Amino acid sequence: MKKITQQEWEQILSENPTNNELCYLVRYTDKKDEAFNQLLKQNPTNDELCYLVKYTDKKDEAGEQLLKQNPTNNDLRCLIECTDKKDEAFNQLLKQNPTNDDLRYLIEYTDKKDEAFNQLLKQNPTNNDLCYLVAHTDKKDEAFNQLLKQNPTNYDLCYLMVYADKKDEAFNQLLKQNPTNSDLRYLIEYADKKDEAFNQLLKQNPTNSDLLYLIEYTDKKDEAFNQLLKQNPTNDDLCYLMVYTDKKDEAQRLLDSRSQKMIDIIKKR
């Protein structure tokens, strides 16, 4: 904390300090009260008041002034997060048509979770809003139930299976929605439902490309390779395995056997 004498303070005032300079004095010197009072006389901006709310012990006074100055939604979020003006700021925010993003922020970072969530439900939350809430807040159950009512996409459900603890419910819903091979590949690589997703993929006639992907990027290498062998992999498929996967030896043997067969054919001409 920097000390400022009364004589120095009077000199500062005579030099017509800017709002930015006064904010500095409030934050870093022992002339907080004097600097703040001077700032109020100089019509501080909302941004300046938010700065004081976040970084000084003049939170309450700055917050009270901010509420008088037509605060934006972002200003009100600042007050809800950082001051004791939570109720006043939240009530004001509700009057100002908060965006879904405003409400998501409040649900995740403040103790106004219940009120913000109830408001969000009234505002037609998008699937993306709800997926975010399921993954990152303690409103998981309510958000997931609402999501199911809104016809979640396969992408929504895959997201939940990777980032949320609604894996079982999301996977069961996904199976009802005819997941694509791409959806299942994603789950095999990133989610905890590898076995279930792989078994489902096998039922859906995976392409050779699907299986090559699994062999290269997942721990289902052996199962995918065995399935690939049943599907008559092309020579290009086998060359790919030799270059990019640890199935080099098996692919090489199969490729060699094909070459040997061709030689036998040529010898018989």
DSSP secondary structure letters along 29-68: BS-HHHHHHHHHHT---HHHHHHHHHHSS-HHHHHHHHHT
For the stretch 16-45, pLDDT in tens is: 999 999 999 999 999 999 999 999 999 999
CB 92 within 8 A of CB 76: yes
SS3 94: helix
Q: How far apart are CA 181 and CA 206, in angstroms?
A: 7
Q: For the segment 91-144, what is each residue's pLDDT rounded down to a tens digit?
A: 999 889 999 999 998 888 888 889 889 899 889 999 999 998 888 888 888 889
pLDDT band at 269 (very low <50, low <70, confident <90, very high): very low
Burial class (CB in 10 A: 0-12, 13-18, 19+), 195: exposed
Helix (H, G, I), strand (E, B) or coil at 22: helix
pLDDT of 260:
56
What's the number of CA atoms in the CB half-sphere (13 Å) around residue 67? 18
What is the per-residue pLDDT for 161?
A: 84
Structural tokens at position 178 = 């005819």
Question: What pTM, to 2 d.p., does this model score?
Answer: 0.62
